[in-house]
């Protein structure tokens, strides 16, 4: 519902199939079957030569994995969408870290030079308090790039835990967890976060936790679907038969095999986290002035749109470029992995 759609970028959505999209392509299934056979062989009580064979199989599997990874990296480096997105995101990461060393002071006010048009001394002009718009547009990356990735990591962490438990145990646990998750989605995300932030106050930490918590349901559904696809496979059976604890099977056996859908989900959520964090700032539930945050800047400077459009248009362009870039990365990853 509110956040049910996947990123609009990425490979063609398959209208017939909804669950476990990424892991289901034939090549991966084959690899998995191989791994399962090897796992089964590895579990047989072995004598001398048998042991050696196991070691050989292990080495072969490791080499295969390395080959796969190299292939992936090469394919990503060749993908123009992925590289464009990556370069833009890296630019903003760099600016978030070091912009204050390069540009003018983004907080220095200069009442005599307020709302001045772009000029050689102020490339993007100045805002109503005479602050350099270029410096602020560059420094604005910092807040978004702190909030969005941390919120995404929280959502992935919680979502993975809930999804693993619900998908692995099924039954009543699954039912109860999924119903509770549904309640969180009973309202559009932006509205729930407004409720929470207006009543709890809004510091960076609260924003991160709120966005992380509200993104958890969708992540946990993705993880759950992937876990359900894995739990009947031989290697899981093997691990259970040799008496491993559930927590071990979930964390060490299943989790490594579903990293791909989790990473794709992570990049999708990152795009939405940037979107949500910026929107909350714009609505006045994010950071407080004088932060150079893009959403906040657009909200406070939009009254000057008619007389000094540069104060609004440059941060708007900066925010747009970051959001599109994150989605280009998702798109590239999805395309390469779906091949």
Partner 1 sequence: MLRLIGRRLLLMVPTLILASMLIFALAEVLPGDVGRSILGPYATQEQVEILNKQLGADKPLYERYLAWAGNFVTGDWGDSLLLKVPVLPTVMKALGNSLVLAAFALVIIVPTSILLGVWAGLRRDSVLDRTITISTLSMTVIPEFVSGVVLLYVFAVWLKWLPVTAMPPDGAPFYERLYYLILPAIPLMFLELGYIARMARVGTVQVLAMPYIRTAVLKGLPRRRVVFGHVLRNAMVPTVTVIGSQVGWLIGGLVVIETLFVYPGIGKLMVDAAQTHDIPLLEASVLMVAILYMVSNLFADIVVALLNPRIRAGA
Binding partner 1 (rule: CB under 8 A), the pick from 113, 158, 309, 338 is 309
Q: Residue 1 or 59: which CB sits closer to partner 1?
A: 1
Which residues 6+ apart lie within 8 Å of 57 measured at CB? 38, 41, 42
Binding partner 1 (rule: CB under 8 A), the pick from 125, 229, 261, 271 is 271
Q: How many CA atoms lie within 13 A of 303 on its CB side?
A: 3
Closest CA relative to residue 164, chosen from 266, 268, 234, 252: 252
Q: How far is the CB of 246 from partner 1 (least distance, A)?
A: 29
Stretch that binds partner 1, among 21-29, 44-52, 190-198, 248-256 (CB under 8 A): 190-198
Binding partner 1 (rule: CB under 8 A), the pick from 198, 246, 247, 252 is 198
Q: How many CA atoms lie within 13 A of 238 on its CB side?
A: 18
Q: Is 1 in the site for partner 1 (CB under 8 A)?
A: yes
Rounded Cα gap, residues 15 and 215, in angstroms? 24
Stretch that binds partner 1, among 33-41, 121-129, 211-219, 317-325 (CB under 8 A): 317-325
The pair of three-digit structure tokens given for residue 37, joined into one six-digit string: 């056979």
Q: How many residues does the chain have?
A: 339
Contact 64, 31 (CB under 8 A): yes
Give bridge partners of residue 284 from the DSSP assignment: none
Stretch that binds partner 1, among 130-138, 151-159, 242-250, 296-304 (CB under 8 A): 296-304
Site for partner 1 in 199-258 (CB under 8 A): 199-200
Q: How many CA atoms lie within 13 A of 41 on its CB side?
A: 17
Q: Is 87 in the site for partner 1 (CB under 8 A)?
A: no
Task: Give the interface size with partner 1 as a residue count (CB under 8 A).
Answer: 50
Which residue has 């547009």 as its token pair?
137
Q: Is 37 in the site for partner 1 (CB under 8 A)?
A: no
Q: Is 194 in the site for partner 1 (CB under 8 A)?
A: yes
Residue 24, classed as helix, strand or coil, is helix
Contact 314, 302 (CB under 8 A): no
Contact 96, 274 (CB under 8 A): no
Q: Is 314 in the site for partner 1 (CB under 8 A)?
A: no
Q: Is 320 in the site for partner 1 (CB under 8 A)?
A: yes
Binding partner 1 (rule: CB under 8 A), the pick from 76, 148, 278, 292 is 278
Q: Residue 118 or 309: which CB sits closer to partner 1?
A: 309
Which residues 6+ apart lie within 8 Å of 15 measured at CB? none
Residue 132, classed as helix, strand or coil, is strand
Q: Is 282 in the site for partner 1 (CB under 8 A)?
A: yes
Q: Is 7 in the site for partner 1 (CB under 8 A)?
A: yes
Q: How far is the CB of 207 from partner 1 (least distance, A)?
A: 15
Q: Is 102 in the site for partner 1 (CB under 8 A)?
A: no
Stretch that binds partner 1, among 38-46, 122-130, 179-187, 239-247 (CB under 8 A): 179-187
Binding partner 1 (rule: CB under 8 A), the pick from 48, 80, 183, 243 is 183
Q: Is 284 in the site for partner 1 (CB under 8 A)?
A: yes
Q: Is 33 in the site for partner 1 (CB under 8 A)?
A: no
Rounded Cα gap, residues 130 and 113, in angstroms? 5
Contact 115, 127 (CB under 8 A): yes
Rounded Cα gap, residues 66 and 264, in angstroms? 20
Rounded Cα gap, residues 300 and 279, in angstroms? 13
Q: Which parts of this chain interact with partner 1 (CB under 8 A)?
A: 1-5, 7-9, 12-13, 15, 182-184, 186-192, 194-196, 198-200, 271, 275, 278-279, 282-285, 295, 298-299, 302, 305-306, 309, 312-313, 316, 319-320, 323-324, 327
């Amino acid at each position: 519902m509110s956040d049910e759609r996947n990123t609009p970028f990425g490979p063609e959505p398959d209208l017939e199939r909804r669950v476990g999209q990424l892991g289901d392509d034939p090549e991966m299934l084959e690899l998995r079957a191989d791994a399962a056979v090897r796992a089964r062989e590895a579990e047989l009580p072995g004598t001398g030569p048998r042991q050696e064979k196991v070691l050989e199989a292990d080495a072969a599997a490791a080499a295969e994995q390395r080959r796969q990874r190299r292939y992936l990296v090469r394919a990503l480096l060749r993908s123009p969408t992925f590289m464009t997105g990556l370069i833009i995101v890296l630019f903003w990461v760099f600016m978030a870290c070091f912009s204050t060393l390069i540009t003018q002071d983004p907080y220095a006010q200069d009442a005599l030079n307020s709302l001045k048009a772009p000029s050689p001394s102020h490339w993007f002009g100045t805002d109503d308090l005479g602050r350099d718009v270029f410096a602020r547009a560059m420094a604005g990356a910092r807040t978004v790039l702190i909030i969005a990735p941390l919120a995404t990591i929280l959502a992935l962490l919680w979502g993975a835990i809930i999804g693993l438990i619900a998908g692995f145990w099924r039954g009543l646990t699954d039912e109860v967890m999924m119903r509770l998750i549904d309640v969180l989605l009973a309202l559009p995300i932006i509205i729930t976060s407004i409720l929470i932030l207006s009543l709890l106050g809004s510091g960076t930490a609260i924003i991160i936790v709120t966005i992380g918590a509200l993104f958890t349901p969708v992540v946990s559904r993705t993880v759950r679907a992937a876990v359900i696809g894995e739990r009947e496979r031989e290697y899981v059976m093997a691990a259970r038969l040799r008496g491993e604890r559930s927590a071990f099977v979930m964390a060490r056996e299943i989790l490594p095999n579903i990293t791909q859908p989790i990473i794709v989900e992570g990049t999708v959520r990152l795009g939405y986290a940037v979107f949500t964090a910026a929107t909350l700032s714009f609505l006045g539930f994010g950071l407080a002035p004088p932060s150079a945050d893009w959403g906040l800047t657009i909200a406070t400077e939009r009254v000057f749109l008619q007389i000094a459009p540069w104060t609004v248009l440059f941060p708007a362009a900066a925010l747009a470029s970051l959001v599109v870039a994150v989605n280009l990365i998702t798109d590239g990853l999805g395309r390469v992995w779906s091949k």
